Amino acid sequence: MDTTDSYYQEILDGLQQEGNLRSLPEAEHCEKWICRDGERLLNLSSNDYLGLAADRQLRDSFMAGLDEEEFLFSSSSSRLLTGNFSVYTELEKLMAETFGTESTLVFSSGYHMNTGILPAVTDSHTLILADKLVHASIIDGIRLSAARCIRYRHQDYRQLETLLSKNHADYERIIIVTESVFSMDGDVAPLPLLVEMKKRYPHVMLYVDEAHGIGVRGKHGLGVAEEQGCIQDIDFLCGTFGKAMASVGAYVACRKVLREFLVNRMRTLIFTTALPPVNVAWTKFVFGHLDGLQEKREHLAAISARLRDAVRAKGYDCPSESHIVPLTVGESGKAVLKACEFQRKGFYVLPVRPPTVPEGTSRLRFSLTAAVTDEDMDRLLEILD
Ligand SMILES: *Cc1c(COP(=O)(O)O)cnc(C)c1O
């Protein structure tokens, strides 16, 4: 060990003692299972919510139709230089038409999206009002921005209302920031209520991250905003391609002027190599199929409701209204042990611990996918306790 390393080692030792030490788990994927030491565990920690990433047929049909021009594994440049292949424009056009918004803009990842948009569209005369439980990438975006930020208690819209009325006169702009389906509690924000609140003031905008909603919710799979009928009323309707869409990247659906502004000011768009054209082509392919996947969405909704009911019946407090279902045990060590137990019994569930979730709320996080069958659920519910 170098002399400088003892500092880091001590911190790691501390994490180990608290049961919060992390490592990169080896994950060999066999369709909907994780294969480990000759055993097959049902993957209940995947974001492949529609089971599309594990769908061999879908991939084959994409490959069969792939144009050689699009079969490129690098764009070799930022989109502002020579990286803006035509498939980007095609995807953005398709998405804007489908969402019915003036425009969309595609990014390299959700992390790029959330760390890029907020710093670009805010300044020191801006106030950001963000839900206490927004994703780490949003927090980092807020940190990079010059805006002032106040976090309101999770889904406490009365507090948000108070903050708006108290602060609106002091800022040129206010941006309310929320997720639609929250990634750790699995509960769902009432977007029309937020729309109504922002409309009371002319200078308030709404930013919604649908990372866990796109593909999964809404009649056409366009997310919670579609389900709740307010796509047009959200100023920055964001989402990612890495989860239900089985791809990589992210998007915002927004007005043209905001898109143009981002192209000029968003550093995580400007100063990074554009996604490889082959990935963008795959995203376009999957997005084009979303409408036809209603059966998968309905199955996912049904098994999710079953799991939520079972968790509540065991006496756990469970705020979930989605396919993300936490089983909150409190202490980190306990969460780790419980996860091991599920894994021994054939279910790949992972513990989620601080700092991902608040102290004392360590949990198992079940994230269901449409590939999970009713029979899989029978077996899971049998061992739930
Ligand atoms: C996963 C996630 C992201 C990050 O998206 P990536 O494409 O994986 O970088 C952003 N926001 C939320 C709410 C997420 O859950």
- Any idea what DSSP says for residue 273? P
Does ligand 1 have an atom closer than 6 angstroms to the CB of 137?
Answer: yes
Most informative mutation of 45, 111, 269, 272 for ligand 1 (most atoms within 8 A of CB): 111
Q: Categorize the per-residue pLDDT at 358 as very low, low, confident or very high, splitting at 50, 70 and 90.
A: confident
Q: Cα torsion at 166, 170, 175, 179 (round to 10°)?
A: -30
Whether the per-residue pLDDT at 282 is higher than 90: the answer is yes
Residue 209 annotated in active site: yes
Catalytic residue among 198, 243, 299, 338: 243
Looking at residue 214, its pLDDT comes to 98
Q: Is the CB of 111 under 6 A from ligand 1?
A: yes
Q: Judge if pTM exceeds 0.85.
A: yes
Average pLDDT across the chain, whole number: 95
Give the span between the Cα atoms of 47 and 355, in whole angstroms. Answer: 20
User: Is 116's C-beta closer than 6 angstroms to any atom of ligand 1?
Assistant: no
Which DSSP category does 173 fall into?
Answer: E
Of 32, 135, 284, 323, the active-site residue reads 135
For residue 384, the model assigns a pLDDT of 92
Active-site residue, from 212, 284, 296, 323: 212
How confident is the model at residue 54, as a pLDDT? 85
* 243 assigned to active site: yes
Strand partners, 366: 325
pLDDT at 26 over 80: no
Among 70, 92, 131, 209, the one annotated catalytic: 209
pLDDT given at position 30: 86
212 carries an active-site annotation: yes
Contact between 224 and 188 under an 8 Å Cβ cutoff? The reply is yes
Q: Is 37 a catalytic residue?
A: no
Q: Please tell me if the CB atom of residue 240 comes closer than 6 angstroms to any atom of ligand 1.
A: yes
* Share of residues in the chain with pLDDT > 70 (%): 100
Whether residue 324 is predicted with pLDDT greater than 80 in this model: the reply is yes
**Closest to 192 measured CA to CA, from 154, 218, 228:** 228
Decide: helix, strand or coil at residue 241.
Answer: coil
Q: Are 341 and 300 in contact (CB under 8 A)?
A: no
Residue entry with tokens 């911190």: 11
What does the pLDDT look like over 124-157, one tens digit per residue? Answer: 999 999 999 999 999 999 999 999 999 999 999 9
More confident residue, 42 or 67: 42
Q: Is 88 in the pocket of ligand 1 (CB under 6 A)?
A: no
Which comes out higher in pLDDT, residue 54 or 146? 146
Q: What is the pLDDT of residue 343?
A: 95
Return the residue whose CA atom lies nearest to atom 6 of ligand 1.
110
Q: Are 131 and 152 in contact (CB under 8 A)?
A: yes
* Contact (Cβ atoms closer than 8 angstroms) between residue 186 and residue 319: yes
Q: Residue 202 has what pLDDT?
A: 95
Q: Give the distance (Å) from ligand 1 centre to CA of residue 111.
A: 6
- pLDDT for 209: 98
For 33, the 3-state DSSP assignment is strand
Given this model, what pLDDT does residue 18 score?
85
Largest CA distance in the chain: 63
Residue 355's pLDDT band, with cuts at 50, 70 and 90, is confident
Kindly provide the b/e burial profile for residues 319-331, where b requires at least 16 CB atoms within 10 angstroms of the residue's own CB. Answer: bbbbbbbbbbbee
What is the share, in percent, of the chain residues with pLDDT greater than 90?
A: 90
pLDDT tens-digit profile of 151-206? Answer: 999 999 999 999 999 999 999 999 999 999 999 999 999 999 999 999 999 999 99
pLDDT for 22: 87
Max mean pLDDT range (58-72, 108-122, 356-370):
108-122
Cβ-contact 235, 255 below 8 angstroms: yes
Gap between the Cα atoms of 185 and 223, Å rounded: 17
Q: What is the model's pLDDT at position 61?
A: 96
For 172, other C-beta atoms within 10 Å of its C-beta total: 11
- With 0-12 / 13-18 / 19 or more C-beta atoms within 10 angstroms meaning exposed / middle / buried, residue 208 is buried
